[in-house]
Amino acid sequence: MAASATIFHSPSLIPITVQRSLSSPTRIHFSPRILRGFHSLRRREYHRFSQNVTAGRFNSFSCNCLSAVSTTTLDYEFTDGGKEVELRLRLKTGETLSPKDISVDADGTSLAVKEKRNGLLITLLETNQLFDKIMPSETIWYIDEDQLVVNMKKVDGELKWPDVVESWESLTAGMMQLLKGASIYVVGDSTEINQKVSRELAVGLGYSPLDSMELLESFSKQTIDSWILAEGADSVAEAESSVLESLSSHVRTVVSTLGGKHGAAGRADKWRHLYSGFTVWVSQTEATDEESAKEEARRNKQEREIGYSNADVVVKLQGWDPTHAKSVAQASLSALKQLIISDKGLPGKKSLYIRLGCRGDWPNIKPPGWDPSSDTGAHPSFS
């Protein structure tokens, strides 16, 4: 079974986005200045962040839905230099600071920067979700006049960071380099949720929004409900499957699919053309914490008779509020980002699957000429 990613979304978690006062992340070139307190987190004596604060840790396939960011400063600059990223925070003017007044703690995907002021430790920036992983032991920091400079080495030097933190803005900008034009399909039991999340994704990514319900109703000149009453749920599912076939060769689209038993995505035998893009299963849950939601998702993925179990990523919702559609869309992009970073060949593999005709042989793609109707299971496959 192909790798997948799961994210738990609670409506009580509202994203707090760091605002920058600068219009663009411009690197400040060094002039002859005195750099005070050049420190590396490789040296234990400089790792002084308060031990009663625990930085959030996440593996490559889970996160607590949205990045938690807090800050008391709106003035920072960020630069991606390829292998490293640099963060410059403006310190309060009129005060003389020494290295002992600064605390920097970096840990994988988290960063906490604090300044001691009038005997109190003030948070300048704190996030448990950097845009991607860093090497904590390679982090260095120093004071450059009225700026605190934090230099972090990226684990993935090829991934371009739009910003230091994972947010809606950085995800929509950064996912373009990862998706490489691949389309996204939003599936799940609720047509309404699928539609609203899809629209947010399309707007954020600059993709074309497509709605299978609107396409079907426009074609049939009747509502889905009246179609079901007249011809049954199977007829609607067959028709949507045909629509998905016609959309499978499209790129840079976000497709909202039908929910419920009449939707093609809910049927395991209707996924042949859904595999052409990245699929997000938005699933409501009664779980109250991340671990319970992840365990539920693992059980769901093992229930192969459920079509949604074929999805690339799963976003578990604790309740639903239409006003939080953008937050759910952000969680979806976060999950997709983790998935593609774990296997950067996936977008190319999706493209190959389309070029070979969407034959249903995902994820073990067979060589050209393979006929699914006469398959004996003895053919080699592309990795």
What pLDDT score does 380 carry?
Answer: 57
Are the C-beta atoms of 167 and 70 separated by less than 8 Å?
no
Q: What is the residue-level pLDDT of the chain in tens, covering all 383 positions?
A: 445 665 665 554 332 222 233 233 333 233 333 344 456 654 433 332 222 222 222 222 333 333 444 544 457 899 999 999 999 998 876 667 778 889 999 999 999 999 888 888 889 999 999 999 999 999 999 999 888 999 999 999 999 999 999 999 999 999 999 999 999 999 999 999 999 999 999 999 999 999 999 999 999 999 999 999 999 999 999 999 999 999 999 999 999 999 999 999 999 999 999 999 999 999 988 877 878 887 887 887 777 668 999 999 999 998 899 999 999 999 999 999 999 999 999 999 999 999 999 999 999 999 998 988 776 555 556 55
**Any idea what the Cα angle at residue 152 is, between residues 92 and 133, rounded to 5°?**
120
Distance CA 317, CA 8 (A): 6
Q: What is the CA 324 to chain-centroid distance, rounded?
A: 16
Angle formed by the axes of helices 325-342 and 168-179, nearest 10°: 40
pLDDT of residue 318: 86
Question: How much is the pLDDT for 338?
Answer: 95
